[in-house]
Every structure is written in C-alpha cells, then in structure tokens.
Amino acid sequence: MVGLCEGRVCIVTGAGRGIGREHSLMLAAQGAKLVVNDLGGSMDGEGAEAGPAQQVVDEIVAAGGEAVANTHDISGWDGAEGLIAQAIDAFGRVDVLINNAGILRDRMLTNMTEAEWDAVIKVHLKGTAGPSHFAAAHWRERSKAGDAVDGRIINTSSPSGIYGNVGQTNYGAAKAGIAAFTVIAAMELARYGVTVNAIAPAALTRMTEGLGMGQASEKTKEQMAPRWIAPIVTWLASSESAAVTGRVFDISGRALSISEGWHRGPTVEPVDDPTLYGPMVEQLLAAARPNADMSGYDKKD
C-alpha cells in the first residue's frame, strides 16, 4: 500500500528525541524520505552530539526507509541554509519542512537574564525563520522554473505561546511569534504552491517533565505521549492537506482542535477625553470573552 507521504522529501528539525523523533518515524513509515536534524544538545541548548539524529536515521534505515542525519545549528542562517542544501543534495528537492527544534530556559521575568531570553528566542523563533527562509527560496525558484510545487511548512507553537504560562515569558513570546509567523508566511507563500501551518502540542517529553508532567498518572502519561502529535503532522505533510493553510492545530492525546487566533471583540466609539475611559473599558471587559487558560478554555474566576 502506498504511504500517505510516499516519496516526499521531509526535513524535521529537533528530530533526535521526543516529538521530532515521532514525526520522523511516522513520516518514514508513510513513505517519506527524511533529513533528520538535531544538534544533540541538552534541554537548555548547551553542547552538541551527533548521536540522537543518527540513531533516528538508523531506525528508519533498519525499517527499510531512506534518511540522512544533519547536525547543523539551525538557529543561525548558515546552519539553516546548510540544512536545506543537504536535503537538496541528498534527495534532489525539499517538499516539507517541519520546524520542531527547541530549548527551555524557564525563569520568572524578574529573574530572567538577557542570555536566557536571547537563547530561547534564537532557537525557537529564529530557528523557525531561517530554515523557512531558505526552503521558501528553493520553492520560489522551482515555481518560477515552471515546477509544480506542493510544499509544506509545519511550525511548532505551544499552548504557552497562544494561551500563556507563568515562568515562560521567553518561551511563550517565541511560540506566539511562531503562530503569527505561520499566518503571515501562509499569505506570502501561497503563490508558490506552499502551505504553512502550525501545531501547538502538549506532550510529555524531557522538556515538559520539569513542569510537573513527570509525576502524572499512567493514564495521563499515555494521553500525553508524544506519539499522538505525529499523525496530524504527517497528514499536514501530505498532498491531502493542500487546501489547509495559515492554521494552528492544538493537539495532544486528549483532543485535536483548531486554535482560533485574535479577533476584534466588543467595540465602542473612542473619545478624546481620557477621564471617560474607565466606564468604557469596564463595558468592554464585561462583554469580552475571558483569556484562555492553558487548556485553551476560558479561565474560571
């Protein structure tokens, strides 16, 4: 039986462990050719090791698939360009880019250092923008040459970014930026035959164990297993998803949802007297929907 992604060339960043590893294995099982990128660093982004990426490649090859390992640091433009170039050298083109690489340096805002802020923004946000930039340039060239492009970018946002979470101003800001990046890139790249979507996954990985999920019940651990994230990503990577773009999918083993973005809410006519704004804002707040909690639903007072 032909796989859902048969012959499609897919890049997955941060693919040596956790969610990225599950993406890679499922895509390969569905017939994709993989470039497995992982710097091999620690959870906070320190160090580097070729082992994690190569181990995933070895699993794919042992199962009869095609894959190559890449250990570039995709948070820099040079590493991002090299990643796309390796995929083209190995398989002739790129069809799918899955931006999954990430680190954590959680800290309350009052205690956060500049280095902790910069590192997280660089890996998540710049590490999404760089590979996407060079993949988009590849697809634009192919489109201008008359090639029928069926490209995909699948980004990784987070409930922390679209709903908010204490202690993660750096991580949440990066993930919110990725959600906005997704919407705008979808507008820009449609002309080349490329869709851009994102997921906001909730899963138990080494990055979330420190958030209390490591002490979860066995039932919760199963619901939060990273294997639940790969099916929607695999479908989005396929040709079947060509009509879907600019969307963020909230996904765990508990639910698959569309995360609805900012919309203009209750509205009044503005005035030029600031002393009148108290009652006006009170009226707006009374009519407005509350912000969501980390579950994605309205916060309960």
Which residues are designated catalytic?
Answer: 171
Tally helices (H) and strands (E) across the chain: 10, 8
Residue ranges of alpha helices (H) inside 190-265 are 218-223, 230-237
- State phi, psi for 120 to the nearest 5 degrees: -70, -45
Distance CA 55, CA 272 (A): 64
The answer to whether the beta carbons of residues 230 and 252 sit under 8 Å apart is: no
The continuous run of DSSP H or E covering 175 comes out as helix 169-189
**Residue 66, SS3 per DSSP:** strand
The answer to whether the beta carbons of residues 30 and 71 sit under 8 Å apart is: no
**Residue 229, SS3 per DSSP:** coil
* DSSP-assigned letter for residue 13: S
**Residue 283, SS3 per DSSP:** helix
The continuous run of DSSP H or E covering 200 comes out as strand 194-201
**Residue 11, SS3 per DSSP:** strand
User: What residues contact residue 109 under an 8 Å CB cut-off, 6+ apart?
Assistant: 169
